Amino acid sequence: MGGGNGTAVTEFVLLGFSDFGSLRGPLFWGVLCIYLVTLLGNSLIILLTLTDPALRSPMYFFLRHFSMVEILYTTTIVPRMLADLLSSCPTIPPASCFTQLYFFALFGIAECCLLTAMAYDRYAAICRPLHYATLMNQGACASMVGTSYLMGIITGTTHSVFIFTLPFHGANTIHYFLCDILPVLRLASASTFWGEVGNLAITIAFILTPFLLIIASYACILATILGVATSQGRRKVFSTCSSHLFVVILFFGTGTVAYMRPWAGFSQDVDQILALFYTVVTPMFNPFVYTLRNKEVTGAIRRLVKRYLWSP
């Protein structure tokens, strides 16, 4: 940590991949391919849910917004990551670092909230089917999505403004590949106590609590499934929910380990791997788990192909 008498920081150095050496080239192409798959897959989901009349239920309304957030979330991180992998000394101005931190927090929190809303939708559909139309009406769905974005905006604004009103003098090296809250906060020349308390509060409120709520929802769903009379009914419900649960475990699992563990408990290489999973790899899985395991979506893809490619 730099002392208060040092020179004011005019740029930060991102050293997240400085130790990867010859692996930086393969990592560049790997991340680029994953990013392109993420963009194409999630864009396809957005297109299908907007154009296909069969995908008009609340589940697909949430899925469309979730795919939008996934695209914006990865775009906040990946393009600069790719540029840094090609640079011998990757730097970022404070204004750009502020912007990245703001949107990273905004879309990350919005994603957590949307996953919770999607779990509640499945709970209402399976556990309270007679009240589903009332619980998940158009106004309720729009309110849940709007609240997700609002929570992201409030959290991103509060933390990014707080962090960048602190003085930064001397030390400017971030041992990470993006401007995340804790890596930037710990370069500040002033006390970071309240910033770290705020980061812990965010983790509990928007990572741990939603994860526990989702697990509780699926516990109720599982209890209801066990009461379904036919094995065919069980298989149908499991097929509908397993894809969502897979995304939840992958995203919240890596995020919880990354943000709830002691900061000094893992090596920097482990930090990079965890961060790569919840920022780059997980968004790529979203299109696959929601299309390959979903007959309604695969049917919509076939109709889309027939309409635009095979029609006379």
The model's pLDDT over 270-286, given as tens digits with 9 standing for 90+, comes to 777 778 888 888 888 87
Among 252, 251, 275, 284, which residue's Cα sits nearest to residue 17?
A: 275
Q: For the chain, how far is it from start to end, CA to CA, in angstroms?
A: 67
Q: How far is CA 28 from CA 16, 20, 177, 260, in A?
A: 13, 11, 13, 29
* Residue 312 clears pLDDT 70, i.e. is over it: no
Residue-level pLDDT at 69: 95
Residue-level pLDDT at 274: 78
Residue-level pLDDT at 2: 40
Q: Is the dihedral of CA 52, 55, 58, 63 positive or negative?
A: negative
- The 3-class SS string of the chain reads CCCCCCCECCCEEECCCCCCHHHHHHHHHHHHHHHHHHHHHHHHHHHHHHHCCCCCCHHHHHHHHHHHHHHHHHHHHHHHHHHHHCCCCCEECHHHHHHHHHHHHHHHHHHHHHHHHHHHHHHHHHHCHHHHHHHCCHHHHHHHHHHHHHHHHHHHHHHHHHHHCCCCECCCEECCCCCCHHHHHCCCCCCCHHHHHHHHHHHHHHHHHHHHHHHHHHHHHHHHHHCCCCHHHHHHHHHHHHHHHHHHHHHHHHHHHHHHCCCCCCCHHHHHHHHHHHHHHHHHHHHHHHHCCCHHHHHHHHHHHHHHHHCC
Residue-level pLDDT at 1: 39
Residue indicated by tokens 């209890």: 223
Give tens-digit pLDDT for 209-237: 998 999 999 889 888 887 765 677 677 66
Dist CA 14 CA 90 (whole Å):
6
pTM for the structure as a whole: 0.89
Name beta bridge partners: 14: 174
Backbone φ and ψ of 136, nearest 5°: -115, 50
Q: What is the CA radius of gyration of the chain?
A: 21
| Residues 6+ away with beta carbon under 8 Å from 192 | 166, 185, 186
Residue-level pLDDT at 109: 94
Among 132, 114, 133, which residue's Cα sits nearest to residue 124?
A: 132
Residue-level pLDDT at 269: 67
Residues comprising the chain, all counted:
312
Backbone φ and ψ of 91, nearest 5°: -125, 160
Residue-level pLDDT at 229: 54
* Residue 202 clears pLDDT 80, i.e. is over it: yes
Tokens of 63: 């899925």
Kindly state the percentage of the chain with pLDDT values over 90: 39
Q: Is the dihedral of CA 51, 52, 53, 58 positive or negative?
A: negative
* Residue 49 clears pLDDT 50, i.e. is over it: yes
Considering only the C-alpha atoms of the chain, give the largest distance between any 2 of them, rounded to a whole number of Å. Answer: 74
* Residue 244 clears pLDDT 50, i.e. is over it: yes
Yes or no: say if 218 and 241 are a contact pair by the CB < 8 Å rule: yes
Name the band, by pLDDT with cuts 50, 70 and 90, for residue 310. Answer: low
What is the average per-residue pLDDT within 24-40?
93
* Residue 264 clears pLDDT 60, i.e. is over it: no
What is the average per-residue pLDDT within 91-106?
93
Dist CA 70 CA 186 (whole Å):
28
What is the average per-residue pLDDT within 291-299?
78
